[in-house]
Structure 1
């Protein structure tokens, strides 16, 4: 188990990591999501020992490693840029860490061969050991980088946006394969990404980080359906967020009011999941629904789902997501006047400080 206690790192007096407390469990896949500049890579580098914390403590299985050199931490690090030796073939790249590590280097060539071949088979490169790095595709280089890290049997494997340089199809395939590899080895993975779909799909648990602070650490379903902070709702990119204020138990957006029972009066944000909203062109929305007038702008097909984009009277773009497993796509002409509606029970309300109001019940589309 890897534990961080009040870990802080600042540059020019500006905190990049701000008093972070975090426990990384054994045998889990942990994803870390945040916008550019949120401190994701800095946190990973502090754990790896590539940078040193200004204060706080990092421990592995109770052993303080806060100021221990990188190569003595028993942690693996997989970079987005691969970091492979171009003058070596795949086998020698993977074997390098076994042969030349400072503690317990493996000097038996037969043992090196056994372990390298085993890990290459696991990552799907069993027949490419003799190939040079320059002859590999981007996905193959990423697998070699992963194999070189995993062959040393680290306690925790740190992955810094490992899929960021891959095309969409290969990224999707590697998403599945990384989980299978981790489950086979039982190694803890901490995977940094700026892609919300990747973070939600891959993690057993998920961290949302912004400005060096942990906004939420939870299972992906809870992060998606019940974000604790309006910033989390924005980062998962699944909510329409309206800005307004609460008074007399209602959220007021322009001249309209929506139920917000129990919310205190004052500035607030009101969030509706993309897939919880419906579009009405020829019929009125259900009486129980909240609704807004809108103008249809465009649609986008994404394989298993459609996104519809509407413009509200104040110019705000409102997204509606519909899955093809639930209904057929709709054809709506650009410029069509329509109404967008939702069940008020599925909406989330956040106070002026961004904290979610109400209980922890998972909300969203039926």
Structure 2
């Protein structure tokens, strides 16, 4: 396998459960020595994809390649791929040391006791749990259990670790800290992490690259900034939860929607005509303002949410659609708005992203 080859590759992988198609002909490969975030809404097929790669389930069609060899028909324990479960799946009757050592003690290849001790202690130390080896899982915190589950995977020295929403059971502060620790551990070991999450914030913060999965297909695979700034279809923009999306009609170089007509310079192929503008690129004006930068969307102010570094303002359009404006506090104090008052939202049309049926033809 050359440096440019992916560490794993899926070719036409489909997985069905009765009439439900969880994975729909996926072609996808991930770079070696990287942190890949797999982002998708509930029911998009994220966990099914991990389980097929790990070998816990077999695809109905397609092939799976790992480090240059076809592993489609290999059982899970022979693939050399680590897996960290969402609920940690620790053995409650075993100590932390024995939980981490379990795979080495019960593998197909006999590992000497001295090597088991050295590798387990090194893995436990790597995840910051030295000194807790003799405790049981019910004697440690949720964050520590997450580290034990990771150490149990890493002790097997895999080149690929699959993480199924590993931070989902943690509180907000611990989740943020573990994001940093997971990236640090991955970089130290020179392994590839494939991290499944339903959180767009988590995916964009952690992944060197982000794969967006929707309805069993990888619809976009790119760097976090490209995903954030240039979603390829309207469903990606919707799932990022950073865009106001408007339905309308694209015709003769203009998009006609709730804000009137806006000029369009480029269109991305889509199943329907959708206009997208980011929350942080939308500005608030009084109803009598004459210096609007672009389209005028009449709205009524509902409420605001303080997020620490920014404030989200919530508005309602005449057709009862909720739209949001993100004001970052580094730009200065936010406007003092009155609940129930009417305002105008506007933006530079050059910063909008337009998706349309005409580009798909």
TM range (shorter): over 0.9
Distance 1:287-1:321 versus aligned 2 partners, 3 A rule = closer
Deviations 1:108-145 (A, max 9, x none): 32x22222222212111112111111101111101100
Residue number in structure 2 paired with 1:240 = 244
Residue number in structure 2 paired with 1:92 = 98
Superposition pairs for residues 107-118 of structure 1, below 5 Å? 107-109=112-114, 111-118=115-122
Unpaired segments ≥5 residues, structure 2: 1-6
3-state SS in 1 of match to 2:357: coil
Say whether 1:147 aligns with 2:151. yes
Say whether 1:323 aligns with 2:331. no
Distance 1:138-1:267 versus aligned 2 partners, 3 A rule = closer
Say whether 1:77 aligns with 2:83. yes
Paired residue for 1:180, among 171, 181, 184? 184
Deviations 1:221-251 (A, max 9, x none): 1111000011110111110000000122111
Paired residue for 1:64, among 64, 70, 73? 70
Distance 1:263-1:120 versus aligned 2 partners, 3 A rule = closer
* Stretch moving more, 255-264 or 85-94: 255-264
Paired residue for 1:15, among 8, 18, 21? 21
Say whether 1:333 aligns with 2:338. yes
Q: State the Cα distance separating 1:353 from its structure 2 match.
A: 8.4
Structure 1 residue runs of 4 or more that deviate by more than 4 Å after TM superposition: none
Distance 1:235-1:267 versus aligned 2 partners, 3 A rule = closer
Alpha-carbon distance between aligned partners in 2 of 1:215 and 1:262, rounded to the nearest angstrom: 20
For normalisation by structure 1, the TM-score amounts to 0.92
For normalisation by structure 2, the TM-score amounts to 0.94
3-state SS in 1 of match to 2:132: coil
Q: State the Cα distance separating 1:10 from its structure 2 match.
A: 1.1
Distance 1:209-1:262 versus aligned 2 partners, 3 A rule = closer
Distance 1:354-1:16 versus aligned 2 partners, 3 A rule = farther
Unpaired segments ≥5 residues, structure 1: 358-366
3-state SS in 2 of match to 1:325: helix
Alpha-carbon distance between aligned partners in 1 of 2:132 and 2:52, rounded to the nearest angstrom: 34
Alpha-carbon distance between aligned partners in 2 of 1:176 and 1:255, rounded to the nearest angstrom: 41
Name the count of aligned residue pairs. Answer: 354
Alpha-carbon distance between aligned partners in 2 of 1:340 and 1:254, rounded to the nearest angstrom: 11
Distance 1:342-1:87 versus aligned 2 partners, 3 A rule = same
Paired residue for 1:138, among 120, 136, 142? 142
RMSD value, Cα? 2.0
Alpha-carbon distance between aligned partners in 2 of 1:143 and 1:184, rounded to the nearest angstrom: 15
Q: State the Cα distance separating 1:303 from its structure 2 match.
A: 1.4
Deviations 1:303-356 (A, max 9, x none): 11111001111111111111122222333121111111111000000013897x
